[in-house]
Structure 1
Amino acid sequence: MRKITKGNEPVALTQWRRVHPRGRYPELSHIERNAIRQACIEEQYGLCAHCCNAIALNSAHNEHVEAQRDAQNRTVDFSNIVASCNRPQQCGNAHAHQALPLTALMDECETELKFYLSGRVEGLSPRAITSIQVLNLGDSREKNRALFNDRRDIINALLFNSRMDGSDLTIENIDLLTILEEELQQPDENRQLKPFSPVLINVIRQISA
């Protein structure tokens, strides 16, 4: 995860709430929903709030951090909405109505998850373990093989020098890793971060420690 700093709600939502002061999320039209999603994607620099893979307007959905069923007074609260990828059985599609004790709105989301070169993620606190399980973020290969493998492949591609079939991998030197970490923290000209960049930064910091 990467800490998300929520900004101002989109104008379309403000205008809708002014007309519907007691309105709930299911009453929103596609105009307001798309405006919310676009605003979330922009402030998340193009990354899913949970797995940090790349998302776009047509490959994401609006995800309520506190589930709508449990926080009905926050269904149109922009500070409670993030953009999630649409992958089946993970992230927002796995969350449903379950409680998330650790979220991307908390600073600790960047320190209480540990990513391994294999692609596995480990929770370093009870709440991190719970959130990983609820969102199915791949604490074992069996639970989410696709996400597990995606992380492993991008880690291999960016952090190692591969020879021939990928055996005998050599970790880049510390200076190069430091430069790479700085680059991964900077959005590109389109204000997008590289897919899984928070995962890569997490791994780099472990290697460099």
Structure 2
Amino acid sequence: MRKIDKGMEPPSLTRFKRSNNTLRYRDLPPEESRSIRSSCISEQYGLCAYCCQSITVDSAHNEHLEAQDRAPNRTLDFSNIVASCQHPHQCGHGRGTRVLPLTPLMAECESELKFYLSGLVAGKTERAKVTIQILNLGHTEQSNKGLVGKRKAMVDALIYSQSVPPEDLQFEDEELLSLLLEDLKVPDAAQCLQPFSPVLVNVIHQLLAQP
């Protein structure tokens, strides 16, 4: 996960809510739902709120951090909505309506999850472990082999793009790691981050923290 800083809601959503304060998310016209999703994807720099793979308006859905049936008063609260990928049995579609103890709106989501170059992820805290399992983010290959493999392949490609073999990353000096870290945090011309780049950022932070 990568910390998401929620911005202002789309003006059209504000107008929709003013039209009738009894309306809920289910009452939104399709074009408004799409507008919300587009705004979420923009502030997420083109990445799924949970697994950090690339998403588009047509390959994602609007995800309520507090599920609609648990918080009916927040169904149109833009600060409660993020964009999640459409992959079955993971992220928003894997979670259902279960409560997430750790969300991408919390700064700790970047430090309580520990990623490995193998593509696996582990939780440093109990709430992180629970969140990983709820979202099926790949704490074992058996839990989500597809995501683990895709994550490893993309992270390897990001490392190779810096002319560094993935197996040698841990031996690189602090200056190169710091430069790579900064590069990974810069969006491209389309204001998108590289898919799974927050995973490699997490790994590099671990390497820099080693004595």
What's the counterpart of residue 121 of structure 1? Answer: 121
Instruction: Report if the CA contact (8 A) 1:12-1:31 is conserved.
Output: no
Q: Give the aligned partner of residue 79 of structure 1.
A: 79
Aligned to 2:98: 98
Compute the RMSD of aligned alpha carbons.
1.3
Query: Which residue type is aligned with residue 71 of structure 2?
Result: A
Scaled by the length of structure 2, the TM-score of the pair is 0.93
Q: Aligned partners of 1:133, 1:4: CA distance in 2, in Å?
A: 21
TM-score, normalising length: structure 1: 0.94
Counterparts of 2:157 and 2:80 in 1: how far apart (Å)? 35
Note the residue ranges of structure 2 that are not aligned, 5 or more in a row. Answer: none
Q: Partner of 1:89 in structure 2?
A: 89
What percentage of aligned pairs have identical amino acids? 52
1:170 aligned counterpart, secondary structure:
helix
Q: Residues 19-58 of structure 1 correspond to what in structure 2 (within 5 A)?
A: 19-58=19-58
Q: Is residue 10 of structure 2 the alignment partner of residue 10 of structure 1?
A: yes
The alpha carbon displacement at 1:3 in A equals 0.5
Shift of residue 105 of structure 1?
0.5
Which ranges of 4 or more aligned residues in structure 1 deviate by more than 6 Å? Answer: none
Work out the CA distance in 1 between the residues paired with 2:142 and 2:120.
Answer: 11
Alignment-derived partner of residue 168 in structure 2: 170
Q: Which amino acid aligns with 2:172?
A: N
> SS of the residue aligned with 1:93?
helix
- Alpha-carbon distance in 2 for matches of 1:47, 1:158: 15
What amino acid is the match of 1:170? Answer: D
Most deviating of 145-154 and 34-43: 145-154
Q: Distance in 1 between matches of 2:208 and 2:61?
A: 36
Q: What is the distance in 1 between the residues matched to 2:158 and 2:21?
A: 49
Query: The residue matched to 1:79 in structure 2 has which SS?
Result: helix
- Whose strand fraction is larger, Structure 1's or Structure 2's? 1
SS of 2:140's partner is coil
Q: How many residues align?
A: 204
Structure 1 unaligned residues grouped into runs of 5+: none
Distance in 1 of aligned mates of 2:157 and 2:75: 40
Greater displacement, 55-64 / 177-186 = 177-186
Quick one: distance in 1 between partners of 2:27 and 2:102? 28
> Is 2:151 aligned against 1:188?
no
CA distance in 2, matches of 1:2, 1:198: 6
Is residue 48–residue 83 contact of structure 2 (8 Å, CA) maintained in 1? yes
